[in-house]
Amino acid sequence: MSRSVLVTGGNRGIGLAIARAFAAQGDKVAVTHRGSGAPEGLLGVKCDVTSSAEVDAAFAEVEAAHGPVEVVVANAGITDDTLLLRMTDDQFSRVLDANLTGAFRVAQRASKGMLRKRYGRIVFISSVVGHLGGAGQVNYAASKAGLVGVARSIARELGTRNITANVVAPGFITTDMTDALPEDRKKQILAQVPSGRYGTTDEIAAAVTFLASDAAAYITGAVLPVDGGLGMGH
Ligand code: NDP
């Protein structure tokens, strides 16, 4: 079965690994990008998830090329870290708009076709920080915790239509986002990870393709941590 899959922010990092994993199993995969173009072998659609109009246009483009989106992965995300006292309204809202409202826009648009098809797999990429919090990450942690509420509400609304909504909560994964962290912070993080290493983008992709598979048809509203044990107990 070759499904129509859309991964937001699938042009690089975790999103790209997810897109490639779906493509490797024979699905028709599209990724959103904000101007970088699409990686080889994937359909690229230009889309900033902070714009409902761009989200709508991106879906229309994917639908025309691959048919209605059956699997959507809301992966696009940003950080803009600073301590609480220094954080501006704009810094808080900007991160929420991209990570949380953006995921809502994408899931809402995807659900239209999924309801018609009576089939759908929605996966949100959250973070261990959504559960543990992070110093300097009030905005990011709020956005990532919010995804759990979004997914669980969708699971309740759409469960009887054969549509699942789940969350993958990565720990610290080697990508541009974590490369940007200061060296001492990286060491600090690593000391707390039971597995004693960073995760790989492929390890996140494996969890996402599983949740989108037939084998996971009875899993919905779940939060699957892929974090080397960092978030245990939450
Ligand atoms: P990267 O910074 O490597 O990539 C982020 C991706 O999101 C890029 O494709 C970027 O597009 C896209 N993006 C950002 N803002 C928007 C927007 N407004 N509209 C559309 N696309 C956007 O991040 P990662 O691959 O590391 O992270 C992917 C997801 O995983 C994020 O949601 C992140 O929060 C989460 N995560 C990452 C962890 C890690 O350790 N790396 C840990 C836990 C969670 P562009 O190329 O145009 O900038």
pTM of this structure: 0.98
Q: Indicate left, alpha or beta for 169 from its phi (over 0: left) and psi (-120 to 50: alpha).
A: beta
**Is 34 in contact with 10 (CB distance < 8 Å)?**
no
Nearest CA to ligand 1 atom 19: 48
**Residue 86: exposed, middle, or buried by beta-carbon count in 10 A (0-12, 13-18, 19+)?**
exposed
Question: From the CB of 44, is ligand 1 less than 6 Å away?
Answer: no
Could you give the domains of the chain?
A: 4-174+202-225 (3.40.50.720)
Give the pLDDT confidence of 132-165 residue by residue, as tens digits.
999 999 999 999 999 999 999 999 999 999 999 9
CB of 78 closer than 6 A to ligand 1? yes
- Is residue 167 helix, strand or coil? strand
Separation of 11 CA from ligand 1 center, angstroms? 9
Tens digit of pLDDT per residue, the chain (234 long)? Answer: 799 999 999 999 999 999 999 999 999 999 999 999 989 999 999 999 999 999 999 999 999 999 999 999 999 999 999 999 999 999 999 999 999 999 999 999 999 999 999 999 999 999 999 999 999 999 999 999 999 999 999 999 999 999 999 999 999 999 888 888 888 988 988 999 999 999 999 999 999 999 999 999 999 999 999 999 999 976
Euclidean distance between CA atoms 109 and 44, whole angstroms = 18
Instruction: State the Cα–Cα distance between residues 73 and 6, nearest whole angstrom.
Output: 6
**What is the ipTM, given to two decimal places?**
0.99
pLDDT of residue 68: 98
Tell me the pLDDT tens digit for each residue of 122-135: 999 999 999 999 99
Amino acid at site 158: L
Ligand 1 centroid – CA 160 distance (Å): 31
How many A from CA of 213 to the centre of ligand 1?
A: 23
Q: Looking at the annotation, which residues are catalytic?
A: 140
49: Cβ below 6 Å to ligand 1? yes
Q: Which of 7, 11, 12, 59 has most ligand 1 atoms within 8 Å of CB, for mutation?
A: 12
Q: Is 228 in the pocket of ligand 1 (CB under 6 A)?
A: no
